[in-house]
Amino acid sequence: MIKLIVGLGNPGAQYKQTRHNAGFAFLDYLAISAGCNWSVSTQFHGETANFLAKSEKLVLLKPMTFMNKSGQSVGNLLRFYKIKPEEMLVVHDELELSEGLVRLKRDGGHAGHNGLRDIIAHIDSRDFYRLRMGIGRPALGGNIADYVLSKPSQEAAALMESLCGRLARRVDLLLSGDVAAFNEYAASL
């Protein structure tokens, strides 16, 4: 069972609606739909919220250390609450999936994602769940950093918002850790 959901993104108004902040966007949607309140935690270098799912208390975390330094925040929280890596779900943007697609996976490398790379380095484990939120790739020859740090089209932003809503309604399936069942559901979205 998942005990911690981490959404990856960058703090600051200039990054708020960028592709790279897909993890923050999902956690914000989840918190709003459940009536959770965010609080700033200097101990965890981020914003946290308590989330109740089927009588189980979970912690939501948005690291405020910038994407490439997310591991410090995640590592501190895991150690404090004595949460094992395999009880954590990290939500992040994914270049290898088209806009509007999501996939759940457990374990694996960072695939060049600097937020995942830093988390793996800080917790010394790859054994955690990842909710990969598709943002697509830039046009051939386009700069990846510029692409992920830019805002998506109005249509793509609306698609992401709709996707967050549908995922939040089935958070139970996501939290069960049943990768096959979740991905079957996600394929129907």
Active site residues: 20
A 10 A CB-CB count for 8 gives 29
Q: Which residues pair with 48 in a beta bridge?
A: 39, 61
How many helices, marked H, and strands, marked E, lie in the chain? 7, 7
Question: C-alpha angle 65/67/73, rounded to 5°?
Answer: 45
Determine the Cα–Cα distance for residues 56 and 50; give it in Å rounded to an integer. 10
Task: Report which residue type is found at 172.
Answer: D
Determine the Cα–Cα distance for residues 61 and 39; give it in Å rounded to an integer. 10
Which position has the token pair 């806009």?
99
Determine the Cα–Cα distance for residues 140 and 119; give it in Å rounded to an integer. 29
Determine the Cα–Cα distance for residues 63 and 70; give it in Å rounded to an integer. 6
Which position has the token pair 């830019």?
150
